[in-house]
Amino acid sequence: MGSEPPRSEEITFTRGPLRFRAIDSGPADGEAVVLLHGFPQRTSSWDEVAPRLHAAGFRTLVLDQRGYCATARPRGRRAYRLPELVGDVIALLDSADLPAAHVVGHDWGAAVAWGVAAAHPDRVRSLTAVSVPHPAAFLRAMIVSDQLLRSWYIGLFQLPWLPERLLTSRGNRPERALAGMGMTPEMIGRFRTEMVAAGAVPGGLGWYRAVPFASPKKATARVRVPTTFVWSDHDPALGRGGAERTAHYVDADYRFVEMSGVSHWIPEERPVELAREIIARAGS
């Protein structure tokens, strides 16, 4: 007899008028790990990481986040402020009847994970942030390093309609831009299917357009849960300045992991190593 296929089911929950979906997989009695994707990706960005967590006995909940999920795309920039994104994660935990979980995020998902850990430390057993440093470290790096130059696209994304047109155009301009960021042809194909064809690009851009409404006090609050920060030295968007300053904003056990020769897309490029770091942090 063959082994049974791994447990995997789609769960839904509501927060106000929004209806979210998440993929609940792995051992039902395992410690829960919440996986938060970034831009311009969706839940599939964790496809190579989650099974390795399952093999180690962890249950994973991969959230299709606000603006991406077809039934959770509110209008207006203020709907994408960090407290709203953090609240979505807490609503997921409540819907799954989880008092706390290990929280992992990549790119914008890391920014949300930092926010959840800072605002709700009682709900976070451990934090693994991937690529994006602590927000206060990021802001400091904008002043004292080349981070401002690396973040030029954030200003572009504030413009109306033009970013949508650039990212969804039929020519090869989006492909060239994403390839320049390190995406493989397979990843770019998923972007075309999961972001462009699914209509998720405007919602994803909403996260950037909410940046001017951020509360500096909430965005830069210190973190007091056990934390691992994973950064890669070939990331064109996020430099060493913020990575090396992140330790100053964590008042708990902290580990910095630098991956050499890896671009921004750590979950796809180094899933084995990333899963190992998540497991090490969650099990410590």
Q: What is the DSSP letter of 197?
A: I
Task: Give the model's pLDDT for residue 1.
Answer: 40
Q: Residue 125: which residues within 8 A CB-CB, separation 6 or more?
A: 31, 100, 101, 102, 225, 226, 282
Q: Residue 64: which residues within 8 A CB-CB, separation 6 or more?
A: 20, 21, 22, 23, 37, 42, 43, 72
Report pLDDT digits (tens) over 39-90. Answer: 999 999 999 999 999 999 999 999 999 999 999 999 999 999 999 999 999 9
**What's the rounded mean pLDDT across residues 112-127?**
98
Report pLDDT digits (tens) over 97-111. Answer: 999 999 999 999 999
CATH topology of domain 8-282: Rossmann fold (3.40.50)
As to burial, measured by CB atoms within 10 angstroms (0-12 exposed, 13-18 middle, 19+ buried), residue 172 is: exposed
The residue assigned the tokens 């792995």 is 26
Report pLDDT digits (tens) over 163-207. Answer: 999 999 977 788 999 999 999 999 999 999 999 999 999 999 999
- The alpha carbons of the chain give a radius of gyration, in whole angstroms, of 18
As to burial, measured by CB atoms within 10 angstroms (0-12 exposed, 13-18 middle, 19+ buried), residue 47 is: middle
Compute the residue count for the chain: 284
Q: Is the pLDDT of residue 218 over 70?
A: yes
**What's the rounded mean pLDDT across residues 152-162?**
95
Residue ranges per domain, the chain? 8-282
The pTM score is 0.97
Provide the 3-class DSSP secondary structure of residue 254. Answer: strand
Are 113 and 86 in contact, with CB atoms under 8 Å apart? no
Task: Give the model's pLDDT for residue 8.
Answer: 94
In single-letter form, the type of residue at position 78 comes to R
Report pLDDT digits (tens) over 260-280. Answer: 999 999 999 999 999 999 999
Q: Where are the beta strands (DSSP E) in the chain?
A: 8-15, 18-25, 32-36, 59-64, 101-106, 124-130, 227-232, 254-259
